[in-house]
Amino acid sequence: MKFQEWRVPVGDDYTSAVAQRSEGPSTDCVLVLGHGASTNRAHPIMESLAAVLLANGLSVVRFNFLYTEKKKGPPDRMPRLTECFSAVVDQTRERLNPRRLIIGGHSMGGRAASMMAAEGYACDGLLLLSYPLHPAGQPEKLRDAHLSAIRVPVLCMNGTRDELCTKELMDGVVAKLPSTFSMHWLDGASHGYDVQRRSGRTQDDVFAEIGRTVAAWVK
């Protein structure tokens, strides 16, 4: 698969991104994928997500948020996260000229993309992977107020054991959203896609299901 590394300007700063073009059956679609709060663009979760999406026909651009690029924590505030995300999308449009462009990410990366989509950011779809509906152990602090403002098609995929997305609460949220919001549950998976041995499934099985489901949704 074709591999490019980019240096992306974000205001007075820079971040890094890696773009990979799918060599499988092309969907003519590029996904810009943001990482979670405690990971980065090269984390095994991001590598595995990119691999299964590439195998299913999507081209993928992964990037570091600025605090990650600088190796400084904690995560930036949401306006800085979305500024960085937007800058990478701009570079993607300029360099790859995709026919269709989807924004999304794992956990916090998906939440940042959802805030952009709710504000009318131009994209063809939104992919939420392990959407963090609430902080761990704090189900009363829902992060759902903006979801009803999203007007592009959405695919949200969470594990049934996701500690940041209680299934009963998420089902209640989705029931109030437009039909363009599609919810897919990954049986037995945690926030990081771990599964219990007694489930009879492996983490690779979960990633393969993600790849197939996203490809079907895109088509």
Tell me the C-alpha distance between 20 and 36, whole Å: 19
Q: What three-state secondary structure class fits 38? A: coil
Q: What's the average model confidence in pLDDT over 106-114?
A: 98
What is the percent of the chain where pLDDT is above 70? 98
- Return left, alpha or beta for 173; rule: phi > 0 is left, psi -120 to 50 is alpha, else beta: alpha
C-alpha to C-alpha distance for 29 and 58, rounded to whole angstroms: 6
The reported pLDDT for the residue numbered 170 is 98
Integer Cα distance of 88 and 122 in angstroms = 13
Domain of 117, in residue numbers: 2-218
Alpha-carbon distance of 61 to 34, in angstroms, equals 9
Residue 23 has pLDDT above 80, yes or no: no
For the chain, where are the alpha helices, taking DSSP H only?
44-55, 66-69, 78-96, 108-118, 167-174, 203-218
Q: What is the pLDDT of residue 2?
A: 75
Q: What is the CATH number of the domain that holds 9?
A: 3.40.50.1820
**Alpha carbon distance 52, 58 (integer Å):** 9
Q: Choose among 217, 216, 215: nearest CA to 58.
A: 215
DSSP string, 179-205: TTEEEEEETT--TT----GGGT--HHH
Could you tell me the pTM of the whole model?
0.96
Please give the tally of structural domains in the chain.
1
pLDDT of 151 over the 90 cut: yes
User: Is the Cβ–Cβ distance between 183 and 174 less than 8 Å?
Assistant: yes
